[in-house]
Amino acid sequence: MFVKLFNQILDSSIADDRRLRHFFTDILLCCDAQGYVMMTEAAISRRIGTTIEEVTWGLAELMKPDPRSKTPDHEGRRIEAVEGSGYGWRVINFESYKSLRSNEDMRDKTKERVRRSRSLTTYRDLTAKREKVGKLSAQDEQKLLDAELALGQKMAFDMDAVKSESAPKAKPKPAPIKLPHGDAFAAAWSRWRSHRSEIKKPLKPTSELAQLKRLGNTTEAMAVATIDHTIEMGWQGLRAPEPQNKSNNAPTQSNTYGI
């Protein structure tokens, strides 16, 4: 594991005891990501290269209340025993220091990102200026060199990052169309798409979605029958077959599902 030590430890109440401060640093290096040292005293002594007596003394000192501590939580204790396990210790302020570390890391990354962004802008502006006027002043040449060095080795940084800013953004791929019903409908829909291509009227995405929505509101058998009937008739728009027992005097109902 990796632990980031803060120089505040040199100003803490245990700073005067170099032996204890060194032991506490070793304990921090033995922590897991949650601030626990789940090891026996013998294991700790082997890990940090000291005697068990030294470990016993150090653990006892770090568990004592410290009225001079700048973090008075838990009466200034640095560690506490893990209950119920028979061994193991928890660094009490580990989470607060972990949060502080994360905040500082974020600030450092932000500073680095801003620095590189400014250097990149300077490089681009001065390079364009040199191409336009043919020559830069000594002051601008120095700024350009500083920008190149800040971005890495001279002219060896990632030029793809520069090009990508002006490159057109790739359009997101459309989400796959979800078919209603089951396998029989999927096969019929494949025939319908092939039919539309054969008659030089390929389906448009909006029309396809509208037709699928309407066919999804019918039974699978009716949807398949509608597709097969339309293909058989050579039509462009989906139309359900006429009922077998339809009266000649019955009003005509539109069953066309768009084009």
What is the model's pTM? 0.41
Q: Identify whether the C-beta of residue 188 lies closer than 8 Å to the C-beta of residue 223.
A: yes
Domain boundaries along the sequence of the chain = 7-92, 107-166, 175-259
Distance CA 10, CA 21 (A): 8
Structure confidence at residue 56 (pLDDT): 96
Taking only the tens of pLDDT, the chain with its 259 residues reads: 556 666 777 878 888 899 999 999 999 989 888 889 999 999 999 999 999 999 999 999 999 998 888 777 788 899 999 988 788 999 988 877 776 655 666 777 787 888 888 888 888 888 888 888 878 888 888 888 888 787 774 444 455 555 555 556 666 666 677 788 888 888 888 888 888 988 888 888 888 888 888 898 889 889 889 999 898 888 888 888 887 665 555 444 445 555 4
Q: Which helix (H) or strand (E) holds 80?
A: strand 79-81
CATH architecture of the region 7-92: Orthogonal Bundle (1.10)
Tokens matching residue 55: 């470990």
Q: Identify whether the C-beta of residue 10 lies closer than 8 Å to the C-beta of residue 51.
A: no
Q: Identify whether the C-beta of residue 27 lies closer than 8 Å to the C-beta of residue 55.
A: no
Q: How far is CA 158 from CA 152, 153, 183, in A?
A: 9, 10, 50
Tokens matching residue 39: 């090891």
Closest CA to 98 of 2, 235, 206: 2
